[in-house]
Copies of this chain bind each other. A is one copy, B any other.
Amino acid sequence: MSKIRLGVLGGGGDSLIGVLHRVASYMYDYYEIVGGVFNPDYEENVKFAKKIGVNTDRVYKDFDEFVAVESAKPEDERVEVVSVLTPNFLHYPMAKKLLEHGFNVICEKPLTTSLEEAKTLQEIQKKNKAVFAVTYTYTGYPMVREMKEMIAKGVIGDIHKVDLQYYQGWINPVIHDKEKRSQVWRLDPKKAGISSCIGDIGTHIFNMVEYVTGSEVSELLSDLNTLYEDNPLDIDGSVLIRMDNKAKGILRASQIATGDENNITVAIFGRNGALKWEQENPNYLYLLKDDEPRRLIKPGNASYNTEVSLDGTKLPAGHPEGIFDAMGNIYRGVAKALRGENSYNGEFPTLYEGVRGMLFIEKTVESNQNGNVWVSMENQ
């Protein structure tokens, strides 16, 4: 079977996100990068294409040329799916045009800079049925998928409580200095939108809780912190939530959790058990039951893992996989979708999840602005 023709926008030079997507695309031998616009500078663009072994014939001057030329190619030659790795504010216009020209899309998060934009994309995609992935990378970990599947199978019963955390400390050395904090793009509303902490990392755990539970957040009440009055955007926040499965819970996100690196924790408590996971040791999943010893679920164990996690584990038990492997599983899910081979729910995060993420950001900010009151998360 021939490879899927992948185009890439952004991710050139020393871009970390570029490496992550590129390696992910290679992992299961599904994709071939056939062209793109890696850099705004054409010379750099070509140089980079050579470096990563892409034929320079399909390296374009800019996005418009990319669309024009690729669209004009016969269907069996043109790029099938495009990875959008450009700065956040470009996600929307690029994704929109790509969708309008019939390309499938893999878009970095946040999907757009506003809920309205996100919904516009959704409208278009509803019509043309393009495959559209939003790379909430953490849902690609085998043990996260194991959680989702175990919950779906009823292993822990009805869920009555959820508790998720995403704590980072990176902004701490910046935030206390007036000069420094005025210069960070993440704290500039023009560049970062209406939120820093919730927008950048809160969305990940919001997505995570809906992903693993298979339920949606129906209401929320947030308390955000900017720490200084001259700082316009939140750098920390707690969000009380109620889910449509009646569970209550709490999402906690921070960029001032001094010393924390990328400390995501997920705890889902059900009537018959609980599941706990931490991103920094992603191959360990704990199952707790009333009156039983805690169990440690690890990937690569055909005797007790679900097919879902086995499908996303490449090596035998005991060989740790990491974040590249998680993103690899998302790319794999997209590839299977393009080939009509998806076999279970949640093989990649979709446009719908991207829209939910934007709704979450807007509602969280709204709740806080209105004095920490409950707001509905119903899709409108």
A residues adjacent to B (C-beta < 8 A): 1-3, 16, 19-20, 22-23, 26-27, 29, 32, 50-53, 156, 160-161, 163, 168-169, 172-173, 176, 221, 223, 225, 227, 236, 238, 240, 248, 250, 252, 254, 256-263, 267, 269-274, 279-283, 287-298, 300-301, 303-304, 314-325, 372, 374
Q: Min CB distance, A219 to chain B, in Å?
A: 11
Residues of B within 8 A of A300 (CB): 261
In the bound complex, do residue B269 and residue A258 qualify as a contact, i.e. CB atoms below 8 Å apart? Answer: yes
In the bound complex, do residue A259 and residue B274 qualify as a contact, i.e. CB atoms below 8 Å apart? Answer: yes
In the bound complex, do residue B321 and residue A256 qualify as a contact, i.e. CB atoms below 8 Å apart? Answer: no
Q: Min CB distance, A274 to chain B, in Å?
A: 4
Query: CA–CA, A90 to B339, complex, Å?
Result: 38
In the bound complex, do residue B294 and residue A16 qualify as a contact, i.e. CB atoms below 8 Å apart? Answer: no
Secondary structure of the A contact surface, majority rule: loop
Query: CA–CA, A295 to B314, complex, Å?
Result: 25
- In the complex, which residue of chain B has the Cβ closest to the Cβ of A283? B280
In the bound complex, do residue A292 and residue B303 qualify as a contact, i.e. CB atoms below 8 Å apart? Answer: yes
In the bound complex, do residue B23 and residue A261 qualify as a contact, i.e. CB atoms below 8 Å apart? Answer: no
Query: CA–CA, A297 to B289, complex, Å?
Result: 12
- In the complex, which residue of chain B has the Cβ closest to the Cβ of A297? B293
Residues of B within 8 A of A163 (CB): 252
In the bound complex, do residue B221 and residue A372 qualify as a contact, i.e. CB atoms below 8 Å apart? Answer: yes
Query: CA–CA, A289 to B176, complex, Å?
Result: 15
Known: A51-B1, A258-B288. A280 touches B325 (CB 8 A): no
- In the complex, which residue of chain B has the Cβ closest to the Cβ of A287? B293
Among A270, A304, A324: residue with most chain B CB under 10 A? A324
In the bound complex, do residue B261 and residue A298 qualify as a contact, i.e. CB atoms below 8 Å apart? Answer: yes
In the bound complex, do residue B323 and residue A315 qualify as a contact, i.e. CB atoms below 8 Å apart? Answer: yes
Residues of B within 8 A of A240 (CB): 223, 238, 240, 372
In the bound complex, do residue B324 and residue A16 qualify as a contact, i.e. CB atoms below 8 Å apart? Answer: no
Query: CA–CA, A301 to B289, complex, Å?
Result: 12
In the bound complex, do residue B53 and residue A161 qualify as a contact, i.e. CB atoms below 8 Å apart? Answer: no
Residues of B within 8 A of A176 (CB): 271
Known: A248-B223, A289-B259, A320-B320. A169 touches B274 (CB 8 A): yes
Residues of B within 8 A of A20 (CB): 314-315
Q: Min CB distance, A142 to chain B, in Å?
A: 11
> 29 A–B contact pairs at CB < 8 A?
A16-B315, A20-B314, A23-B26, A23-B27, A29-B51, A32-B53, A156-B258, A169-B269, A169-B288, A173-B291, A221-B223, A223-B240, A223-B248, A236-B248, A238-B248, A258-B269, A258-B272, A258-B273, A258-B274, A258-B289, A258-B290, A259-B294, A260-B288, A261-B298, A280-B320, A291-B301, A293-B295, A294-B298, A319-B322
In the bound complex, do residue A290 and residue B322 qualify as a contact, i.e. CB atoms below 8 Å apart? Answer: no
In the bound complex, do residue B298 and residue A293 qualify as a contact, i.e. CB atoms below 8 Å apart? Answer: yes
Residues of B within 8 A of A169 (CB): 269, 274, 288, 290
In the bound complex, do residue B314 and residue A16 qualify as a contact, i.e. CB atoms below 8 Å apart? Answer: yes
Query: CA–CA, A29 to B289, complex, Å?
Result: 35
Residues of B within 8 A of A280 (CB): 283, 318, 320
In the bound complex, do residue A317 and residue B270 qualify as a contact, i.e. CB atoms below 8 Å apart? Answer: no
In the bound complex, do residue A168 and residue B298 qualify as a contact, i.e. CB atoms below 8 Å apart? Answer: no
